[in-house]
Structures are given as structure tokens and as C-alpha cells.
Amino acid sequence: MESSLPSTQILDYGESAERKNEAKNYNEVMYALPKVKGLRGNDYYLYQGFWYSSFFLEGLMSVQEHFNPQSTDIILASSPKTGTTWLKALTFAILTRSRLSGSTYSSLLTKMPHDCVPFLEFHLAQNPSNRDLAIPLLSTHGRKGCFCFFVVLFSAHQMSENVEPLPLEEAFEMFCNGISILGPYWDHVLGYWRASLEFPEKILFLTYEEMKKDTAAHVKKLAEFMGCSFTLEEEEGRGGAKDNKHVKGEIGDWANHMTPEMGARLDDIMEQKLKGSGLKLPR
């Protein structure tokens, strides 16, 4: 039987017979996995306990096979729509600030944060050399896998996004049943949370809500965790930490998209799933 999966969507294998064979193997693995219709009508595949689109899963399998983490790597881990762009901008600006002098401008002025901090499952899946080795920042939407240094971002409610063609009510029901990209969401969060308790020196666990409320304190915490603390002079001149064009999510904005009953149900599910873990819903 021929696979009904679309052809390779992420990886540019060129003419390499070895890489083309890898793509075929990944498709064969996906073909055998349980699947459901996802939020945009595309298929989600259940792989190692989590749901992935074919676009993401192929890159993930490639990374699992080929990625060799360095001891200095700092990996930003987050679920989609929980503040990833902002976290990338902050960490990149903090880590590269010593390079800026005179007429040297930050790359963030001309590039998006996603171009400054490569995704494991996209940029490095295409080519392991798609990174600047002088900047140890990488990012992932996947679950924990290797013991580099992780900065993890969690939000109580994923930020809203239009997900045609499914109606919001149907998409919400799927989310509550654990079916979402990289879902179940609570399992994704709890995996990193528990790891942060076991390896606090390697994993910094943050919440979007707390970062939004006190950005300056969290910028300082990020710098300390990444081993590039601010000097007293820098701290005195760091008054604009809250001004960031990448901060689009508003705390409580879910109320503009969901009913109070939907919000209460989601809170109940999250509280039940997080019960006994020590992790509390940020408010």
C-alpha cells in the first residue's frame, strides 16, 4: 500500500541518496502511527506520546538521529503560541550584548528572532551547520531530550490564533482532550517542570505571565542563568526592559475569544493535570 503522507515538507535533501532514503524511512514510520485530523484539517501523528504534524515530526526524527548537543548549548523550549518570539529576542539580546560597540547594531534590528535563534526541528533538521557556533542559542517546541541548558517558557493559556477551518468550539474540545500540536499541552509542560526540579542548575523554568509582570527581574534571572550577568552599570541603565515589539500576548485575552465556561473548564483541566506536581497556574 502506498503512503498517503505528503512528500517531504521540511527537509531539503538535495541529491544525496542517503538523505533521500532517510526521508523515505521517516514517511514509513509516520504511516504506521495513529493519526487524527488536526486543528487546520491536516493530520496529527501520535509519536512517543505526543501529537505532531508531518511537517514538524519529520524534522524531529531527523534531529533525534543527527543532532549532537554541545555542553555549552542553551536550548529555548516552549509550546507554540506561548511567547517563543519574545523569549528568543530577550535571550539573544542578553547573550550578544557584549558584541555591540560603536556603530555595531544588534541583528534583531534587521532580522526576526526566529532567524537569530534557529529551530532544532527546522533549521538544524535541514542542515546541522545552520547555526552560528559562537552563539550557543537554539530553540525547540519539542519535549526534553538531552541535558544541555534549557530555558523553558510556560503560559496558562496558549495565545489565540485563527485556525481555520475548524470552528473554535471543536478546536477547544480537541485541546481539552489532549489533541493539539505537541499536545497534550499539560504533559509537555510537566515534562520540563519535573526535569527543572531534578536539574535546577540546567533547566530554568519561566512563565509568560510572570515575565510580563516583572520583565526586568526576569531579564536579570535569564542573564545569570546563561552565565552573562549584568554589571552594576548595566543594571542602572537597563530601564527599558518592558519595551519590546515582540510582546503581543495579553494576559487574560482568552476572554475575548472563549466563553467564561470554556475558560473555567480549561482551568479545571489544568489544575487537575498539575495536581501534586507543585506547579501552579500563573494568574
- Taking domain 70-237+251-274, whether its CATH number is 3.40.50.300 is answered by yes
Please give the span between the terminal C-alpha atoms of the chain, in angstroms, as a whole number: 51
* Closest by CA position to 49, among listed 139, 137, 150, 145: 145
* Helices then strands, each counted (H, E), the chain: 11, 7
Strand segments (E) across the chain: 35-37, 43-47, 50-53, 74-78, 137-140, 149-154, 203-207
C-alpha to C-alpha distance for 104 and 191, rounded to whole angstroms: 40
Q: Please report, as a single letter, which amino acid is at residue 189.
A: V
Nearest to 180 by CA among 171, 191, 170: 171
Catalytic residues: 141
Going from N- to C-terminal start, the domains of the chain cover: 70-237+251-274
CA dihedral 73, 76, 77, 79 (to 10 degrees): -160
Length of the chain: 283
pLDDT in tens, the chain (283 residues): 333 333 344 445 455 666 667 777 888 899 999 999 887 778 999 999 999 988 889 888 888 888 888 888 999 998 888 888 999 999 999 998 877 655 455 778 788 888 889 988 887 777 777 788 888 899 998 775 544 566 776 665 554 444 456 788 888 999 999 998 888 999 989 999 999 999 999 999 999 888 888 999 999 999 999 999 998 888 877 654 544 555 556 677 777 878 899 989 999 999 999 999 999 877 6
Q: Torsion-angle region of residue 254: left (phi > 0), alpha (psi -120 to 50) or beta?
A: alpha
Instruction: Give me the residue label for grid cell 517546541.
Output: 141
- What's the grid cell of residue 66? 543527527
**Would the pTM count as exceeding 0.85?**
no
Only one residue has cell 519590546, namely 244
Cα–Cα distance between 170 and 20 in angstroms, integer?
37
Summarize pLDDT for 124-180 with one digit per residue, the tens: 777 777 788 888 899 998 775 544 566 776 665 554 444 456 788 888 999 999 998
